[in-house]
Amino acid sequence: MKSQVRSESTAQGEQRTGLLYGFGAYGMWGLVPLFWPLLKPSAALEILAHRMVWSLLFVAVALVALRRWAWIGDLVRQPKKLALVAVAAIVISVNWGLYIWSVNSGHVVEASLGYFINPLVTIAIGVLLLKERLRPAQWAAVGIGVLAVLVLTIGYGQPPWISLTLAFSFATYGLVKKKVNLGGLESLAAETVILFLPALGYLVWLQARGTATFGAEGAGNALLLASTGLVTAVPLVCFGAAAIRVPLSTLGLLQYLAPLFQFALGVAYFHEEMPAERWAGFSLVWLALTILTWEALRTGRRARAEKARLTEAVRVAGAVRVAGAERSAEAERERSAEAERPAGAGPGAGAEVRTPSTAPAATPAQGAIDSTP
């Protein structure tokens, strides 16, 4: 009993730790719009190149410290998997570069919209490419999401291409990573290895032309550019620590923290305009996400209830089988005992015979006498 209580307490402690890691990861991703403007006057492409180069260095240190490099040989021996990693690297480069540019160009709110609609785009990709079947609530959420994009198109005067590109690129990245099936740290390492030489070559080219800001804008700017590796790797490590400690349903709810923080920063800190049409579009997106989350939680509860019911049924069936086996064994022992009695011996054969005058008085404990021969 004590061990069970101790185990439950440990599990609860692990879940609390996982929640803290999850809040940390999505909180850092949500507050990252405050970081990219600090790197000005560096252009988005230069910042992206530094992010790739420094991320590899920090991730390599982490892998060496954790001694997690056995996966490298397996990956190199699988050309198809390596090609998928290259696709993932290209897609995430587009996502990172566009996000940095949008933040430094005053489009934080539109960038946040991209990560709000990302779950809806992921569902759409599942239907179109993986032939997945949607439940009615999911269809409703996708339909409301499409309506939201139409409303926002009217509000912006053009399709919200930043949001759509960010959403589709990140959804594609998630799809490819699912196929690759590598851990977060390992995946980032593989992707940055592929991106390292092109990124480093671009930075060297900038230095040769004399247009690089690294070193030219002072030690502070150079240090901030180098810290892009930490900004990339630390949230990912926290996310990985959260993913192994909390249920996926909880992690799915936490994912909305990042775009929510970004949206709040865009409106309250960067003072971006939010006319009525944009509020209407965002409200529709939030309604779609509410329906999607409610449906996911309901489905998860049903799945857990069904699993618990099946587990109980298996337990009861196992108990019945054990009881039946015990009864069969007992019956077999009785048959064996009956077969071993001498012919003509009755149930009382072999018992000590006493005359009425010498037999002791029966005690309550002597309700039955051993009758084995």
Best CA proximity match to 49, nearest among 212, 239, 184: 212
6-22, pLDDT tens digit by residue?
566 666 777 788 889 88
pLDDT at 28 over 90: yes
pLDDT in tens, 42-82: 999 999 999 999 999 888 888 888 888 888 888 888 888 89
Rounded to two decimals, the pTM is: 0.76
| d(C-alpha 203, C-alpha 207), whole Å | 6
CA geometry: angle at 252 spanning 274 and 70, to 5°? Answer: 125
Q: Which residue has the higher pLDDT, 201 or 17?
A: 201
Q: What is the pLDDT of residue 9?
A: 63
Q: Which helix (H) or strand (E) holds 293?
A: helix 276-340
- Name residue, tokens 């006498």: 369
pLDDT confidence of residue 246? 77
DSSP string, 28-74: HHHHGGGTGGGGTTS-HHHHHHHHHHHHHHHHHHHHHHHT--HHHHH
pLDDT digits (tens, 9 = 90+) for 71-98: 888 888 888 889 999 998 999 999 999 9
Range with the poorest average pLDDT among 165-174, 182-191, 331-340, 357-366: 357-366
Closest CA to 250 of 2, 21, 5: 21
What does pLDDT average to over the chain?
A: 82
Long-range contacts of the stretch 239-244 (C-beta < 8 A, 24+): 239/21, 239/22, 239/25, 239/26, 239/184, 240/183, 240/184, 240/185, 241/17, 241/18, 241/21, 242/18, 242/19, 242/21, 242/22, 242/24, 242/25, 243/184, 244/18
Q: Residue 264: its pLDDT value, please? A: 94
Q: Residue 316 pLDDT > 90, yes or no?
A: no
Q: Which pLDDT does position 220 carry in this prediction?
A: 92
Q: What share of the chain is helix, strand, coil (3-state, %, to 5)?
A: 80, 0, 20
For the cut 60, the answer to whether the pLDDT of residue 3 exceeds it is no
CB 272, CB 266: distance < 8 Å: yes
Tell me, what's the pLDDT at 1?
56
Joined together, the tokens standing for residue 343 give 């012919």
Q: What is the DSSP letter of 372?
A: -
Residue type, 61: V
**pLDDT in the model for residue 4:** 54
Cis (ω within 30 of 0) for the bond into 41? yes
Q: Which of 115, 104, 116, 109 is nearest to 48 (CA)?
A: 104
3-state secondary structure labels for all residues of 302-355: HHHHHHHHHHHHHHHHHHHHHHHHHHHHHHHHHHHHHHHCCCCCCCCCCCCCCC
